[in-house]
Chains A and B, each alone.
Chain A
Amino acid sequence: MREIVGFTAQETRPGLEPLLRVQGLPAADALAPRLRALVDEALASHDELAEPRAVVEDVTSEAFAAVLQPLALPPEALVVGRVYPRAFALALYVATLGEALPARIRGLLDDGSLAEGYMLDAVASFAADLLSDLLAERFAARCSAGGDGLRALPYSPGYCGWPTAGQRPLFAALRPEEIGVRLNESCLMSPIKSVSGLLVAGPPETHRFRPDFPFCHQCRTRECGPRMASVLRPH
């Protein structure tokens, strides 16, 4: 199954407190008025300019193995390579917030409105991640139609050992041009606030792995722990 999915800007609007937390800013009730004004302005720009949309296509394990194959890496050397064989269902996806939001960010930064540009960039990055999460939730719900409580997470090139070069075979398989997303020579997406990867749905244990890959030693974000916890804890 392949589908184009549209979302409203309200659906990708970051929540205020999570947005502040991610940026290391104080909670809303302790935030300086000038910083609160920056955040509110950025959220308003997001609401005005975001055009969230995605293309999603179910794939078999064999088809996804073919997406990884050009990288010439043993699948077990990547987190996604260790996880996907255990999945109940898989889907490739590319999603974007559209061109208008990054254009506004560029304009602000070029204008010297650094704080405004930075804040809108932070809001847009958060919104793009939310887009991945929304697609994962949607995929889990579809796969769990029979009520078997599957949990889905997105896995993306550029993270957890999956090289950014992995974008090329992913794009070749999914052909996301119809939602306006392209790759450049370095495998970076345009519009810039776009996300891509594999949606993996399965029982919670599907997503459990030991973070003992060589690249884990260099990782300071350690986001895999909370990610795994988010699907392993009971609903």
Chain B
Amino acid sequence: MEILDRIASALQQGDDQQVASLTAQALKGGVAAGEILQRGLVAGMNVVGEQFKAREIFLPDVLLSARAMYAGLDHLKPHLAREGVALRGKVVIGSVQGDLHDIGKNLVGIMLKGAGFEVIDLGHDVAPERFVETAQREQAPLIGLSALLTTTMPRMREVVTLVRERGLSGSVRVIVGGAPVNADFAREIGADDYACDAATAVERVKALLGVA
């Protein structure tokens, strides 16, 4: 459908006004909100994610596209609710306690939203209990932890341990990332997975939650 391609293309250009206008136009033309979401916005963000991973575009380009995606989503949200379109899954993310660096975590959140996930972003300097309690309360099957400092990485282990202590290992997975974090560290602390960048995080989250 041409208008969905145009939405995806405008999103890739980071043109938020055009995305908003085309989304409204598509809705008015009777295109289902779920279809606009998947074949317009998510399709556009998928291309952006691939281009970013291939280093063809840069982080600010991704953020401009993300703003365009939100402009489209704002129009879609009430319609999605009416159509009963479910998002792909709920993910709780945050930078661990003692760490105020959140640009990487923000990017993961943006990419996850772009891939159709519901993201609960707890911000930075988040205590282990808050991660786990939020996941329990929101029935989120995944917690994403970010740390930039070697001195705050141990907090990741505390979250994994807390998940285990509360008997949630089967229902809540933990994925970790951030500049000093690697796969060995993730294994060592008992995390379920590790992602080296935002685009990979989306792939790993999909795999962990078993969604296509």
A115 and B63 form a contact (CB under 8 A): yes
A23 and B180 form a contact (CB under 8 A): no
B152 close to chain A: CB less than 8 A: yes
A80 close to chain B: CB less than 8 A: no
What does the 1/0 interface line of A177-203 toward B look like (CB < 8 Å)? 000000010111000100000000000
CA A114 – CA B106 in complex, angstroms? 9
| Given A35-B58, A112-B70, A186-B97: A118 and B151 interface contact (C-beta under 8 Å) | no
Chain B residues with CB under 8 Å of A122's CB are: 103
B180 and A218 form a contact (CB under 8 A): yes
CA A122 – CA B70 in complex, angstroms? 22
Chain A residues with CB under 8 Å of B118's CB are: none
Provide a sorted-by-A list of 15 A–B residue pairs whose CB atoms are within 8 angstroms. A23-B59, A25-B60, A35-B61, A113-B67, A114-B106, A115-B67, A118-B103, A118-B106, A157-B151, A158-B151, A188-B98, A218-B180, A218-B181, A219-B180, A220-B179
B192 close to chain A: CB less than 8 A: no
Smallest beta-carbon distance A156→chain B, Å: 10
Task: Give 10 nearest A-B pairs by CB, closest first.
Answer: A115-B63, A114-B63, A215-B150, A115-B60, A186-B98, A115-B64, A218-B180, A164-B98, A218-B150, A186-B125
Using CB atoms and an 8 Å cutoff, list the residues of chain B in contact with chain A. Answer: 14, 58-61, 63-64, 66-67, 70, 97-98, 100, 103, 106, 110, 125, 149-153, 179-182, 185
Chain B residues with CB under 8 Å of A220's CB are: 179-180, 182
Interface of A is mostly: loop
Look across to chain A and name the residue whose beta carbon is closest to the beta carbon of B127: A186
Chain B residues with CB under 8 Å of A226's CB are: none
Q: Which of A113, A115, A192, A215 has the most CB of B within 10 A?
A: A115
Interface of B is mostly: loop
CA A38 – CA B59 in complex, angstroms? 12
| Given A34-B14, A187-B98: A163 and B63 interface contact (C-beta under 8 Å) | no
Smallest beta-carbon distance A214→chain B, Å: 9
Interface size grouping (class) on chain A: 20 to 34
Chain A residues with CB under 8 Å of B103's CB are: 118, 121-122
Smallest beta-carbon distance A101→chain B, Å: 14
B60 and A158 form a contact (CB under 8 A): no
Extra A-B contacts (7), CB below 8 Å, given A184-B125, A186-B98, A187-B98: A23-B58, A23-B59, A118-B106, A122-B103, A159-B150, A164-B151, A219-B180
B100 and A188 form a contact (CB under 8 A): yes
Smallest beta-carbon distance B120→chain A, Å: 16
CA A113 – CA B71 in complex, angstroms? 11
A114 and B98 form a contact (CB under 8 A): no
Smallest beta-carbon distance A226→chain B, Å: 16
A114 and B179 form a contact (CB under 8 A): no
Look across to chain B and name the residue whose beta carbon is closest to the beta carbon of A26: B58
Using CB atoms and an 8 Å cutoff, list the residues of chain A in contact with chain B. Answer: 23-26, 32, 34-35, 38, 109, 112-115, 118-119, 121-122, 157-159, 161-164, 184, 186-188, 192, 215, 218-221
Smallest beta-carbon distance A36→chain B, Å: 10
B151 and A24 form a contact (CB under 8 A): no
CA A161 – CA B154 in complex, angstroms? 12
CA A121 – CA B124 in complex, angstroms? 14
| Given A114-B66, A186-B97, A186-B98: A159 and B151 interface contact (C-beta under 8 Å) | yes
Q: Which of A26, A119, A186, A220 has the most CB of B within 10 A?
A: A186
Contact of A158 among B58, B66, B97, B149 (CB under 8 A): B149
Look across to chain B and name the residue whose beta carbon is closest to the beta carbon of A215: B150
Smallest beta-carbon distance B76→chain A, Å: 15
A112 and B151 form a contact (CB under 8 A): no
CA A83 – CA B180 in complex, angstroms? 23
A35 and B60 form a contact (CB under 8 A): yes
Chain B residues with CB under 8 Å of A26's CB are: 58
Look across to chain B and name the residue whose beta carbon is closest to the beta carbon of A25: B58
